[in-house]
């Protein structure tokens, strides 16, 4: 993680570290988040969207509580509705990864 983050930052490229949280325990997620806090990627991300599960609000909240304002959290995987996206944002996600972006934006009304 350290060398990849360093290469990205040297090239002025945003760096995201993907946890693939569906395969991890809460303790493992906390451990990884604490490692990431020391190494400082720009984002920690819940999943690729190709694992056995996607983003969960409880896990996004745990990740954000662990890293605080030191890192940003990206929620990805299984976010298909405006309600899903808003729940992730409320839990602490600052970026959403979804293949349903058009549908989500079209359902958004002010």
* 75: CATH: 3.20.20.70
* Structural domain boundaries enclosing 28: 2-107
pTM to 2 decimals? 0.93
Look at the chain and report how many structural domains it folds into: 1
The per-residue pLDDT for 96 is: 97
d(CA 67, CA 58): 14
The per-residue pLDDT for 110 is: 61
The per-residue pLDDT for 51 is: 87
Tokens of 51: 């694992």
Report yes or no: 19 and 32 within 8 Å, Cβ to Cβ.
Answer: yes
| Each residue's pLDDT tens digit, 57-68 | 999 999 999 999
- Which residues of the chain are under the pLDDT cut of 50? none
3-state helix, strand, coil in the chain (%, to 5): 50, 15, 40
The per-residue pLDDT for 21 is: 96
């Amino acid at each position: 993680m350290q060398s990849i983050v360093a290469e990205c930052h040297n090239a002025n490229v945003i760096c995201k570290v993907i946890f693939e949280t569906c395969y991890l325990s809460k303790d493992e997620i906390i451990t990884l988040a604490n490692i990431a806090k020391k190494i400082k990627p720009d984002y920690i991300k819940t999943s690729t969207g190709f694992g056995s599960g996607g983003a969960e609000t409880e896990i996004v909240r745990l990740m954000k509580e662990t890293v605080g304002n030191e890192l940003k959290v990206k929620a990805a995987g299984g976010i298909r509705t405006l309600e899903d996206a808003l729940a992730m944002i409320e839990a602490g996600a600052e970026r959403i990864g979804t293949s349903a972006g058009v549908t989500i934006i079209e359902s958004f009304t002010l």
